[in-house]
Structures are given as structure tokens and as C-alpha cells.
Structure 1
């Protein structure tokens, strides 16, 4: 399909040349406020950029729009790693708003993803209102917490005291931390297998981004000589007349079992001279919340995270499993990717699924946006129906599909891209 630049045919969409990448990146930074990055940050991000999957909108020699895609593998319910385009670096210069540039880049991207034979596209949204019209649905959420560790205590499970913790330089244990992360990826929908070079991004530590906190610190959790968890964090010292009131800022953590998880969180709760633990982008069902003595003093807030877009409805629905048997016909509406529109019969269970075109009567009517929201099991089709976004035509079909699409654990995206 073509682009949507009829309003200004002087604008050209194409992949930036190697000698244009710095200008492409400068345009992206300007659109997000114009704050310059260090050479280290720029180098690390450009190192993981896939130029052949990038798009630039050029007005003459000036790059006035940017978009990119990472070649991710996304964990879906059932544990499969499904090819997904990680849409990133989307921007349009303020001088070129409302001229069809964004729509044209979205059109080009989804056509490209389809040509690569990838069933999914995913993104994190700086402004959620933008991407619904292109078929992206909010599929995962995360929790932010500001915990009063002076008042909240943890009740830990058996085996926690068998876990030992030690400080380590983040760079020295990076490979071990990445191995622990890789072990966790298949266990939770929404996680992505990190591509080569991403480990450098995890250690970026510009002083400008610390807000007065320490350089990045790391503790490793060990049991019987084996690494079973880690946490990367900062400490922001503060004092008042009554004494210290520092803050621990958790950046990242993983643990392989409940005891290791509890040991790491207990350590973070108990760091000297601190009375607050700030955690960002944590799973909504993370178990520390149920060990806390007073969850109200943890000040939990919920935020949308990963947006999912089914580029190939049949292939996407066949790629995951279903926690209960489902046999349902969807009437899918997809104006932006019309090849998805029409009726699809999904038959599946915990062992696998088949999804194909059908002429049978529809059981449920919804748009591809709702399918994207429900795809990873964190958003209920029944809830979407209550919001008027799914319509049931066969009695019982909504309950059947909602149960089948659900999951044992909440989907979670650990970091942005």
C-alpha cells in the first residue's frame, strides 16, 4: 500500500543512509525536547539500531520524521518466542505536524512488518492517544511503588535465609545478570529476548540522569555457589533534623525462585540510612506486594506499558496457547490493515491452536485493537465488552474466549525500547 503524503509530495519516506543517521537521531532528540545525550548514550543506542528497518521522512535534505523497528522475539502465553517488530524512535518535527507524516510512517512500517512475515508489532507509547487509531491496544501494565520502608516490613518464605548476597561491580557481573534474565524470559508473556548490544544500554549511567543519586550499584544473590538473583539500584542520600531519610531507587532485578526474590527485596528494604524504596516498572502481580505488612504505605500506581498490534491475525492467534479450550468465530474490524478484516475461527487449548478464515456466523465482534489488548492475557475480553468495545453475538462465547485468553501470570515488559 502507498504512503499518505498527498498533502505534501515533496516529503520522501525512505531508510536513512549511514551518513544520515546522525541527522536522523538529532531529529528524534529534538522532537522529544532537544536535550542532548552523551557520546556514550548516542553510541550505545545507534549500536542497537537496525538501520535497514528505520524510516526517515525527508523534506529535501532535512529529516523531519523518524521511526524504527527492532527485530524482537516476544514471549506469548504458552512460552513461545514470536517474531515481533519493536516499534521505536517515532517522531515528527513540530514544523511538519498535521501533514500526514506520522500516518504515512505507520502505514509503511506495518506494510514492512507484513512483508517480513512477522505476526506482531509492539511499542511503548509516549502519548497513548496516538496509537489506537493504528490498531495498537494496551496489553500490559506495570506497577510503580514508593515504599515507606521505615514502616513496612516483609514476611519472607522459608529458604530466604539460605540466600547470600554480595556487592559486585555492575560491569563485572553483566553476563551473569543477562543469563538470569534470559532464564526468566520464557516464563512471562510480554518479555522480550534481548538483542546483542542491549547489555551496554543497561549499564548506561550518565550523572545527568541520576537526580542526585549514586552511580549504579549491584548485589548478586547466591545459593550453594549458584547465582539465583540480582538487583541493580542507586541510593539517593538525604537528611533531616531527625536523621537520615535516603531513598533506594531500584532500576532492575530478577530472581529465579520465591526465596531468592524475597532475599533481594529484604535487602533493598533494609539498606542503612534510607527510609524509602522507589521501584518502577514492576510486574503487577510481583509477590513482594503480598509479603508487605502494609500495602497502602507502598503507594502503588498502575501504568500502561506494552501496546500490541496484530499484523497477521491468523498467525498471531495460532502462535499462542489458551488456558482453557476455546472455539470461537471473531468478526475482526481493521481499517488500517484491511487484510485482517473479516471472520476468523479460533480453535485452541493449552496444547496449541488453529486460526483460519471462515464463512461461519460470528460469535464476537471486535476491532484488531481489542485483540491486541487481550492477546497477552493481561486484559480481559469480558472487561472490554463491558466498555462497549467487544460485542457478543452468541451467548456464552464471551465467557469462553475470556477464560481461554487469560493467563496464570500477568504479562510484563521489563524495560522500554
Structure 2
């Protein structure tokens, strides 16, 4: 049996998307979600396998800009909607789509590809490395107390309509992206994702709610969340389901967390995607009752290695030759000299000089945003030091003060 690999036309997008829905369990996407996805996804940046009249494989790529260490906004393909029909497993369809997609990303001049994986074991063989983590919390707010910084009482917290407050919330989000590697800089239309609220996605909770933090009339933070009422024989045991929380200063951040802790008729605050260095960990009285779990977040793939490494900043000066293995994108393979000048600008050029470190592009992707240590990867046998002292130098240079984090999925 043979299939045809090609991009869907605009008129074929609905059928193409239907293949994705079946692969992810057959639950129909809400009309409002489907409409937004169709508006954001460019059919010419999508590929799929077609078997006769049926789509049996899908893969898309949003246009993104990702913040990297140093604050630069690097063009990236946001890989999404990847699926293979259960009837066509183990026939190389996924590999062929990944091959076509990375060739396309290179032709578009985007040095990075990024994704969030439905299953973590899928994408390593295509050169993607897990570069960010996401922290999940389930806080017992009946027993955990908060210690807040001075100035918290001066912050006003007020309810607001998520739709009417969207512009103010997006302004806060936009001011924070430069300081957090892994942040997705909002592209046109993506602000709508922040208030997308289909009933079938509420998990028994309320419609999306929003509060704003304000000081002197200026919005300095926001939180969006749902309330899921629950009761037992002893009384209310409702849950607060946090969606987003962002703030421009410590007092505003604390005021928002305090509000969420104090909502009547609730005793659990559930957070599904927070940065692993979230300030709330240092405000709580008992971190053990916060149900802390960390899982993989965004995966990074260097498509144009030289351009990608030159785009980011480095914490310390570096002069190193990297021996890079990349079987899937062979244009990246070989030796590269990475240096920084007195002003911190990076240069990454091919060289015939002896290598100092040997690693694959997957490890470079994992370390690229500054959250994964090359020293730790070396301890796992995934990076080899070829010149004494090179590992410590490069690991320090790639590290960053702030943990990378992707605030939302795609």
C-alpha cells in the first residue's frame, strides 16, 4: 500500500484535521476551537499522508518567535497536530513527515523547530531535545500558608471579564517575554488562545474567570482560572484550576497568589504549567503539601545550527570547538567553533580544528535555552569532553539565570 505525502489545500484542511481528531481518540474538537486552529494554522505549512481519498497522517508548523537567553526573539517553527492513523502505523509515515517538515523549515529560514510532545519518547530520534520543564502543583490551601513581601497590601486585586481584560493581560505578558527564555512571543491571533473557553474543556469547572492586579491605576498582573465546586460530608472541598498567572513585580505576584489561596469554598489550588523556578515555592509554608511534580515541557530542534547558536546570549565568555552529530539534518553535522567577543556577541563557524566537546544536535537542543546542564548530560554519557576543562567552560556559558519556560501549549 502506498500513500501520497503532500500539503493539504485550504479546502482539504477540515478533512486533514479530522484525521488528527481520530488519532487523538476521536473526540470532536469544539467548533470555537476548530475555528481558531484553522485561522492560526497555515495549510501551506502543513503536510500529511493521503491514502486514496483519506488522510492518514498529519503534521503542521505554526510561525513562532521564541525568546532565547539574552532576550532575542528567534524565528521558529511550532510543530503541531502530528498524527498517524492507527491503520498505518510502522510504515515510516512519521519519519517521512518529519523529514519533509525539517527541510521546509530550513527553506523558510527558521533556525529552530519547537514542539510539546504528547509522548516524550517520540521526537528524540529526529533531533529534538527536552529544553524546558513545566511544574505542576496541587496545593492544600487549607493547610499551606503564604508569606508575602512588603507592598503586597498596596496592590489592588479586582475581578474583570477575560475578554475585556485581554488587552491589559497581553500587555503584561508582552513585557515579560524578553526575560524568560522559552517564551512564545505572541503572533497575530494568538491572543485569542488566552480566552478560548469551550465548555467541553472546562472539566466540570466554571467558565473562565479573571482577576487583575493594579497599582496606581496600572495593571501589574493577572490570573485566569476556573472554580470546580466539590463537596463531601464535612463541607466544601472546591478546587481552583489555575490557567495563567503573570505579574510585573513581586508584590503583584504575591497579591494574585494570595487571592487564589483565599477563594471561599475551596481547599485545593491546582496549577498544571508553572516555571520550575516559580516564586510561589518560596512563599509557601510547607512545600511538601504543594504536590510538586516536574515534567518535560518544550522540545527544541536546531535546524540551522550556526544561526541558532549565534542568536542566543552566553553567560560567560566561550571559545570551543563542537563536534556535532546530526544524521537527520546532515547540514548541521561536523565541527563548529563557537566564540563570543568582548561585547558578548557570538560567532559560530565551521572549522577543521580539533574538537573540544562531542555531542549530538539533540543535546544542543536540550541545552539551548539554558535550563539543561551540559555537565549533567555528560554524566549521562550523552556529551563527551575531548579537551580537559572544556565541559565546565561550555556548560557555564550555556547556563542562564532564569529557568526557561513555555507558558502555553500549541
TM-score, reference length from structure 2? 0.98
Partner of 1:243: 235
1:406 corresponds, among 399, 403, 406, to 399
Partner of 1:76: 68
CA distance in 2, matches of 1:51, 1:300: 39
2:296: which partner in 1?
A: 304
Which of 9, 21, 39 is residue 17 of structure 1 equivalent to?
A: 9
| 1:135-172 C-alpha deviation (Å, 9 max, x unpaired) | 00000001000000011111111111110011011111
- Distance in 1 (CA, whole Å) between partners of 2:320 and 2:39 is 44
CA deviations 1:355-414 (Å, max 9, x no partner) are: 000111000000000000000000000000000000001000000000000001000000
Structure-to-structure mapping, 1:18-417, within 5 angstroms: 18-348=10-340, 351-417=344-410
2:328 and 2:30 map into 1 onto residues whose CA distance is: 38
Contact kept? 2:317, 2:344, Cα under 8 Å: no
Tell me the secondary structure at the aligned position of residue 261 of structure 1.
Answer: helix
Q: CA deviation at 1:208?
A: 2.0
RMSD over aligned Cα, in angstroms? 1.0
Q: Distance in 1 between matches of 2:193 and 2:294?
A: 25
Note the C-alpha offset of 1:202.
2.1
Please say which of residues 360-369 and 55-64 is displaced more in the overlay: 55-64
Shift of 1:210: 1.6
Aligned length: 409
Looking at structure 2, the residues matched to 121 and 144 of structure 1 have their Cα atoms a distance apart, in angstroms, of 25
Rounded to whole Å, the distance in 1 between the matches of 2:90 and 2:292 is 37
Deviations 1:193-224, CA, capped at 9 Å, x for gaps: 12222222222222222222111100011000
Where structure 1 has 5 or more consecutive residues not aligned to the other structure, the ranges are 1-7
Please name the residue that 1:4 is paired with: none
Unaligned runs of 5+ in 2: none
Distance 2:317 2:192 in 1: 43
In 2, Cα distance between equivalents of 1:392 and 1:117: 32
Report the 3-state secondary structure (helix = DSSP H, G, I; strand = E; otherwise coil) of the residue aligned with 1:129: coil
Distance, in Å, in 2 between the alignment partners of 1:45 and 1:171 is: 18
In structure 2, the residue matched to 1:5 is none
How far 1:332 sits from its partner (Å)?
A: 0.2
Question: Contact 2:367–2:398 at 8 Å: present in 1 too?
Answer: yes
Could you list the per-position Cα deviations for residues 307-365 of structure 1 after superposition, in whole angstroms to 9, with x for gaps in the alignment? 00001111110000100111111000000011111000101267220000011100000
Q: Give yes or no for contact 1:45–1:201 (8 Å, CA) kept in 2.
A: no
Distance in 1, Cα, partners of 2:306 & 2:11: 40
Taking structure 1 as the reference length, the TM-score comes to 0.97
Instruction: Say which is worse superposed, 203-212 or 306-315, in terms of deviation.
Output: 203-212
Task: Write out the 4+ residue segments of structure 1 that deviate beyond 4 Å after TM superposition.
Answer: none
